[in-house]
Amino acid sequence: MWTLTKKFSFEASHQLTHHDGPCARLHGHSYHGHVEVRGDHLQGSGPKLGMVLDYGDISKVLKPAIAALDHQHLNDILDTNGPTAEVIAKWLFEVLAPNIPGLSAVVIEETDSSSCRYTSE
């Protein structure tokens, strides 16, 4: 079994209106993360020979999804008063899954020390 990883980053603001700490105030993050794609076989022929999935094919699907979040207010984009890392990871997984075969996880890093991993399991 192979696991591929494709990294991404975006800048966005959010506000956790029901939070009992400083995250209740409007603030922003430089989000980082990655998608994980799992596969148990390699392409046997053609231009993708020896690949589970071409990183370029992952990027073609990932870039527009990240562009929809970049430099946006996530409360508006995700239509919630609580766009936590958990909500962002699940939203991104659901957007990407139909077009990335073998997508197994999305990881969102909100800070250098805090991250969330969402899987379909």
Q: What is the largest CA-CA distance in the chain?
A: 55
Domain spans of the chain? 2-119
Spelled out in words, what is the top-level CATH class assigned to the domain 2-119?
alpha beta
| The one catalytic residue among 14, 29, 34, 110 | 110
Question: Regarding beta strands 72-73 and 103-111, do their DSSP bridges make them parallel or antiparallel, or are they unpaired?
Answer: unpaired
Note the pLDDT tens digit of each residue in 52-92. 999 999 999 999 999 999 999 999 999 999 999 999 999 99
Q: Taking a C-beta distance cutoff of 8 angstroms, is the pair 96, 87 a contact?
A: no
In this predicted structure, the answer to whether residue 121 has a pLDDT above a threshold of 90 is no
**Torsions phi, psi for 105 (to 5 deg):** -160, 155
**Cα(112)–Cα(20) distance, integer angstroms:** 22
**Cα(24)–Cα(76) distance, integer angstroms:** 15
What pLDDT is attached to residue 16? 96
Token pair, residue 73, equals 């207010």
What global pTM score does this model have? 0.94
What pLDDT is attached to residue 55? 98
| The one catalytic residue among 23, 36, 73, 116 | 23
| The one catalytic residue among 19, 71, 73, 94 | 71
Residue written as tokens 């966005």? 12
116 tagged catalytic: no
86 tagged catalytic: no
Name the 3-class secondary structure at 118: strand
Those residues with Cβ within 8 angstroms of residue 120's Cβ, 6 or more apart along the chain or in another chain: 93, 97, 103, 104, 105
41 tagged catalytic: no
